[in-house]
Structure 1
């Protein structure tokens, strides 16, 4: 949900090649106070092994990718993928070595003397002297190249390939630097790369911020602090000292100049509004003793993971996603990781506001950035085979959600009027069940809706082919605007203004249907997480109107980012008989364009060609398809965030199985505690409202208390 001032590279992400490896694991180098960085081999790539595990699931069961539980078709697909990749890489190596050998043969012998050439030299240059013969090594190399070429051709023939597949990476040769092993160099705050993999230092440190969450630096002078405030201040200084120590351990660039135990000299400010994590901007002292006159180290962003996050997010997968994004220069730059958090690069940028989302120009810019993300990151085979991540999240979080909601359902009738409804732990009870109905009924309706949704797709393969790499949490706090200081910056040009937007927080990024991404974004229009009274509330009247949705989707469809396969409308293929397939959807009957019946639609003075008309009609068809797709996927988006809110919530008495007394739980809520259960309940009301609109349930079949609170969006 809400995230703070993390930032990403602002360069236009123009990929030179698709992602070539399955997993793209980050090479992490463990560090310590007394040792230099050292590298160790990574274990095999792992993926989730059950339907309940997902790329975002909490504590998923892991297995190697060649597990026997995979279907034979999945194994064949992976074998084909890796076989083609191997052929491409060997072919590329062969081409490179032949060019190198050829260039060596063409080079003439260099003369070290500056004197004029002798007659013998001239004869050799003109070919009248004795010709130089190729070496035996050169001849044997050619023979070896020819044999390897025949092996490649035989392999391609056996696989039914007429030419080498395009599976980079291309072989690149870097200029030689001073002989120095990459495994023994000093870590820096920049993300370094070796053979295409990011080197991110890591250490076995746990930063405990539990005693500092309620501390405010805007306190009276030290003499006026009471005993409790003194303890809180001491805990805050100790926390800042640990930040410095961890920065030293990770060898963040420049931060080793900041003395240990000098926590009072650094500025640490928590960014408000973050729900999943605690996020801080860490600023070094402007003057460091012994380093006067030197530029201080850069500010860094410190992210400490929330206590319930292990049930929701697969952090190893998140780091792999961030590395893939960094390769395309659209992901946050990691500086170092520790057990319960990480350091990231900090940019001086500001998040958008709820009103910004409604600005037509800003909405258009967000759509362009979203298209660039969807087209810029290729899905890996196992991601596409796994289907939409929104369902994988639901399945992964289902067990915890069921356990918590079942416990909460027992409290609805007994504690509804016990005088604690104003407590953050009990406010949801005033509106009945947290899911609107008892848990079994809610779960059964999700199953019924999923079956209904699947009827709109030909089969699972067609559904998976429509997937894109989606952010899945594009709310206003996750979109920052960077304003360049340089007035001549290319980002200030009208054509590049959308590139000022930086999307952050890829914790939930994964494969999803485009319509689900749009449903999530449009639903976020209904929230203001900084509202003083009800930051958790969903205001359905703020959902974008049809014209606003169309404006956004047309900007998305029309945008042509500089990525492969982005020059035409994606996944829009005509079917036989004049019908058209929506992306993955069953064919729908096409109707004649309204332009055929309008006098004003005749060719403009510049000439309205048949290609122009066809392109315009395809754009309109694509927008209509996406509008329908967005409406269809909106309920599952709500269901996923219902589960998220339930799992995130602190539930007193859950472990003991008994509801606590009022005096036992209300003191545990912090001043900035977010009401996750009320958030989940409002999302459930949105879910039920959509199902009523779809006709999957009749309003009169629902409990009276739920009917009065349905969130209805009839478009």
Structure 2
């Protein structure tokens, strides 16, 4: 510790170099202009004690449980279970790929995935040159391929002046950067956001990523640190926009890819036994709000303003009544219909790895046309819609062959849920424009129309379909109505998420003027105001930039939460689950009519 404190406008670095009993210090002004140029004058940071690289072993050795298709459960159809491979057989992995939705089975799959780990924290509130130092040193310690330089223990010899860090907006849980360096593959740096400990189970998330990696789903994971991780950056990929997901054929493609995810990743036995992941979190978050925000919920004005309910006991009672209404056929029935879901398929989490080639000038080739038993003779589309159901059920082979270009990323909220929940959540994301001046606002008029939902659902149901004995119209109708019933759940989920993310329940933060460095030693801050974000300015001399859009620092979580909870109440009132005098100020609601 220093013998005296610096002035409010200074920062000091105390790295405690190995072999030097007299640690050097460096002071600099915290002005914006100086913060951009200080890396040219401050001493090199070689010699500090590096953090140790560890290997975390993530086990996915567990019972695999494959349940029933929700529609098969509804209609009482039963599927013949496949032969179960013997434990230890090399056919287990191949058997996973052959399993189809609706088959009942339980067996074991065994694999340990090793992930490099370093016990350090990256503080993205640091000035830019300090953050760049820490990022490069953490990359070096993790020994990330094509970035690691042999012979350097924990301190990267790469030139700090050449690194470029671009803050990627659109993320509302984490702070995300694209890390670039000449001649090196780009990396995606994910720094976990604030107030996140009660929202995301990082251990479970890593297990999910390990399970997905063995199926080549999602980007590669290069290494983790205490408050984040480094991942593969998908070069040349383009993120879908709010209008892209509304495109007729793109919506069909999203439907097919979601069906592949739902059927292609078997659940662990423990996931099925626990029940829907969305409700596990909702119940946990209700308890968290009661424990952390006792004073907040006891103020009736807060509950009425942000949860649009007359008081907290009424709100909690209504939530649990809705859960029990969804579970009316019993929790075992709900468990059996669970599938692996992404649970956050907003357009920012959907990428195209390369442009889709239009088929306007290509003669379509129909592959494996659906049999008459799976085709529809009536169609649920309105008679005046002029929709060709045949084109939805039997897309050309050239069209389906491009489905693999659509990539889903960010599995932080993934878990076991009914497919209807995942689909309802996706449709709800149609109502948001996260790149607008009001990213928290819900545009209810943008919720998909009946025709748009049917376009999606006919594509979803007909793809990889097992229940060929039943008319496809009946299955589409079942999912349509299930989405209406479950639609209030994602509204509730994200409303509670917004309250927890907002920090409204937290005590005022205390200034922590000491921060551990990834390569050893400490940063010592004496400013009373917050350290400026390294990427906030558009200084022309900066090596970093920021794209337009929402991020964790600018998003209005409380306003977002209020918009969500209003739709929650609207659905419950129409479904007859909530009492009208339980809620206050409800003005907007979605159409909850079923087919």
TM exceeding 0.5: yes
Contact 2:200 2:412 in 1 (8 A): yes
* 3-state SS, counterpart of residue 638 of structure 1: helix
Partner of residue 318 from structure 2, selected from 435, 445, 463: 445
| Per-residue deviation, residues 71-100 of structure 1 (Å, max 9, x unmatched) | xxxxxxxxxxxxx87x5337989xxxxxxx
1:500 alignment partner in structure 2: 405
CA distance, structure 1, for counterparts of residue 290 and residue 51 of structure 2: 47
1:13 alignment partner in structure 2: none
2:88 alignment partner in structure 1: 89
CA distance, structure 1, for counterparts of residue 124 and residue 137 of structure 2: 14
Contact 1:405 1:439 in 2 (8 A): no
- Where do 1:157-556 residues align within 5 Å? 196-211=111-126, 235-257=127-149, 259-260=156-157, 262-284=159-181, 286=182, 296-348=183-235, 349-403=237-291, 406-409=294-297, 413=301, 432-455=305-328, 457=329, 459-483=330-354, 493-532=398-437, 534-556=438-460
Q: Give the TM-score of the pair, scaled to structure 2.
A: 0.66
2:472 alignment partner in structure 1: 619
1:649 alignment partner in structure 2: 502
Q: How far 1:495 moved relative to its partner?
A: 2.4
The number of residues matched between the two structures is 436
- Where do 1:12-27 residues align within 5 Å? none
Contact 2:219 2:234 in 1 (8 A): no
2:563 alignment partner in structure 1: 682
Contact 1:537 1:678 in 2 (8 A): yes
CA distance, structure 2, for counterparts of residue 452 and residue 166 of structure 1: 29
CA distance, structure 1, for counterparts of residue 319 and residue 224 of structure 2: 38
Cα root mean square deviation, aligned: 3.7
Structure 1: segments with no counterpart, 5+ residues = 1-31, 48-83, 94-164, 170-194, 212-234, 287-295, 414-427, 561-566, 570-613, 657-664
Contact 1:526 1:538 in 2 (8 A): yes
CA distance, structure 1, for counterparts of residue 314 and residue 356 of structure 2: 56
The alpha-carbon distance between structure 1 residues 313 and 682, as it changes in their structure 2 partners (threshold 3 A), is same
Q: How far 1:618 moved relative to its partner?
A: 2.3
| Per-residue deviation, residues 104-134 of structure 1 (Å, max 9, x unmatched) | xxxxxxxxxxxxxxxxxxxxxxxxxxxxxxx
1:24 alignment partner in structure 2: none
| Per-residue deviation, residues 292-325 of structure 1 (Å, max 9, x unmatched) | xxxx221110000012111111111111101111
CA distance, structure 2, for counterparts of residue 634 and residue 40 of structure 1: 38
Q: How far 1:239 moved relative to its partner?
A: 0.1
CA distance, structure 2, for counterparts of residue 259 and residue 666 of structure 1: 31
The alpha-carbon distance between structure 1 residues 669 and 409, as it changes in their structure 2 partners (threshold 3 A), is farther
* 3-state SS, counterpart of residue 401 of structure 2: helix
2:592 alignment partner in structure 1: 714
CA distance, structure 1, for counterparts of residue 49 and residue 530 of structure 2: 40
Q: How far 1:545 moved relative to its partner?
A: 1.1
2:578 alignment partner in structure 1: 697
Which structure's relative contact order is higher, taking Cα pairs within 8 Å and 6+ residues apart? 2
* 3-state SS, counterpart of residue 674 of structure 1: coil
CA distance, structure 1, for counterparts of residue 251 and residue 356 of structure 2: 24
Q: How far 1:352 moved relative to its partner?
A: 1.1
Q: How far 1:395 moved relative to its partner?
A: 1.6
Contact 2:62 2:268 in 1 (8 A): no
* 3-state SS, counterpart of residue 243 of structure 2: helix
Q: Which structure has the larger Rg?
A: 1
| Per-residue deviation, residues 248-278 of structure 1 (Å, max 9, x unmatched) | 0011112134953732210000001211000
| Per-residue deviation, residues 375-396 of structure 1 (Å, max 9, x unmatched) | 1000111111111111111122
Contact 1:540 1:713 in 2 (8 A): no
The alpha-carbon distance between structure 1 residues 409 and 237, as it changes in their structure 2 partners (threshold 3 A), is same
CA distance, structure 1, for counterparts of residue 559 and residue 167 of structure 2: 24
Contact 1:537 1:682 in 2 (8 A): yes
The alpha-carbon distance between structure 1 residues 637 and 44, as it changes in their structure 2 partners (threshold 3 A), is closer
* 3-state SS, counterpart of residue 354 of structure 1: coil
Q: How far 1:462 moved relative to its partner?
A: 1.8
The structure with the largest helix share of the pair is 1
CA distance, structure 1, for counterparts of residue 60 and residue 429 of structure 2: 38
The alpha-carbon distance between structure 1 residues 35 and 635, as it changes in their structure 2 partners (threshold 3 A), is closer
